[in-house]
Structures are given as structure tokens and as C-alpha cells.
Amino acid sequence: MPGGRALSIFVSIAAYRDPQLVPTIQDCLAKARYPEQLRFGISWQHGPEEASLPFHSDPRFRILDVDWRASRGACWARAEIMRLFAGEDFFLQLDSHHRFAQDWDATLLRHAESSGSPKPILTTYATPFRPGTPDVLEAGAMRMDFDRFTEEAIVLFRPSEIPNWQSRTRPVRGRFLSAHFFFTIGDFVKEVPYDPDLYFVGEEISLTVRAFTHGYDLFHPPEIIVWHEYTRQYRTKHWDDHVKTRGIERRVAPA
């Protein structure tokens, strides 16, 4: 590894009643070249009918068990996870529904070094997959493009394939930051702490602007690092549970 020293990666995963959380973590560990160097911060927001996580005895895991009724949304959960950070070399934020390329951790470390930036962020809207037996993994390394403004003038993004990604060997300059997949140096946690008062819309453009103004350079990986499940069809969403009819209200409506 660079410098001859094993480099640690803090993996932040906020999960809301998501049955894909355990398969995501299992695949993350199975596909890592250096699984012993991973440290997980998990916010598991769930009810009593949903199984507890099988990782409590693993010293690599720091788990926040949260009753789903007490959850205040993804940004709040991600801010709480940052409190678990213990000075690891790198920080990786994910959603709870991913699949991983083989040696994904070594690949991220290599691309961070080859970026030439002292403060790189590797990020993208990851290539889609569909859970199944087997999982359906799509092809193509992706980037983030401008999509549209909301009625409140908040910027939204969309994924598109990186042109000629098969022939690229170095990270591609990016303009935007994805909340479901970004990898950067550990200093990010203290320099760009999460805003717990955001709910959903505005999370990514806020991260983008704050990271840029703190000297971070944005890049898209030139190959697939992770796959992401986009449909949300199989899992309960925060904004489905937190409604007046269930006696629990959220503070801000999603897009």
C-alpha cells in the first residue's frame, strides 16, 4: 500500500429499514482487498420486527441502533455517523443498497493517488444494479450531470455514462458530489461536517459547494467501483413512515 503503511477506511452507511443493508456490508467485505483495514459506522434505523445486525461482535463495526420513529432522516443519520469517526485515513460514504467491484478499496486508493490532488473526492452516481439471485449488474462507468432546478431553485443531477470510459486510466474531473458514493481523505469529516438539519433535497449541492470551498477537488472514477440500487421499490422510505396519518411528521418534504 502507498508509503508501506496499511491505510484505514471509515465506511459510513445510513440505513432506514433496508433489507439490503446486510448483503451490502457482506459484499463490501468480500470484495475488499484489505477488509481488515475497514471500519464501519452504521446508523441502523429499524423496528423490532426487523432483525438486529450480525456485526455487533466485530470490532470493525460501530453501530447506532435507532428506532425508526426517532429517525430524523438521512442527513441527520449521516451527521450522527460522523461522530463515530476515529481518525481513519480515508472516509467513504455509501447508501445501504450497493454491490462492489473486486478490490474496490485498492482501486479507490490508487485513483485518489493518481488524481494528483492533496484533497481528492472520488464520487459519482453509481452504475445501477437490481437485487436478485443472481444480482443484475449493469455496465458503464458513470458521471454526474446537471438535470434541473426544483421550484425552490435547488440543483438536481442525473447520471450519464463517461464517454470512452473503457480506455481511461485516470480519474475524470467532476462538478458535483453524490451523497450515495463518495471517497475522500479523513480530514473531510472535520472540515465539511454533515448538516443534520437538511432532510433530502439540497443535500448534494450543499456538499458540493462546501467541499469545493474547502479546497477539495471532485473526480469521477474511470471504472465501476460500486453499483447502486435506484428504484426504492422493495423498501420502506422515511417519507412513507413519517406522515400525519401515522402520528409522525417530518420537517421537510422530499422532491
Quote the pLDDT of residue 253: 40
Tens of pLDDT, residue by residue over 214-240, are 999 999 999 999 999 998 776 777 756
In what helix (H) or strand (E) does residue 155 lie, and over which residues does it extend?
Answer: strand 155-161
Tens of pLDDT, residue by residue over 84-128, are 999 999 999 999 999 999 999 999 999 999 999 999 999 999 999
Instruction: Please give the order of strands across the beta sheet that includes 226-228.
Output: 98-100, 226-228, 127-130, 136-137
List, in order of start, the domains of the chain with CATH numbers. 7-231 (3.90.550.10)
Neighbour tally for 96: CB within 10 Å: 24
Beta pairing class for 120-123 and 127-130: unpaired
Query: What pTM did the predictor assign?
Result: 0.91
If you ran DSSP here, which 8-state letter would residue 111 be given?
H
For residues 216 and 121, what is the distance between their CA atoms, to the nearest angstrom? 7
Candidates 127, 85, 83; CA nearest to 104 is 127
Question: At a CB cut-off of 8 Å and minimum separation 6, what does 181 contact?
Answer: 93, 94, 95, 98, 123, 124, 125, 126, 225, 226, 228
Tens of pLDDT, residue by residue over 11-64, are 999 999 999 999 999 999 999 999 999 999 999 999 988 888 999 999 999 999
Q: How distant is the alpha carbon of residue 94 from its chain centre?
A: 2
**Distances from the Cα of 179 to the Cα of 14, 78, 130, 147, 149, angstroms:** 11, 10, 20, 16, 18
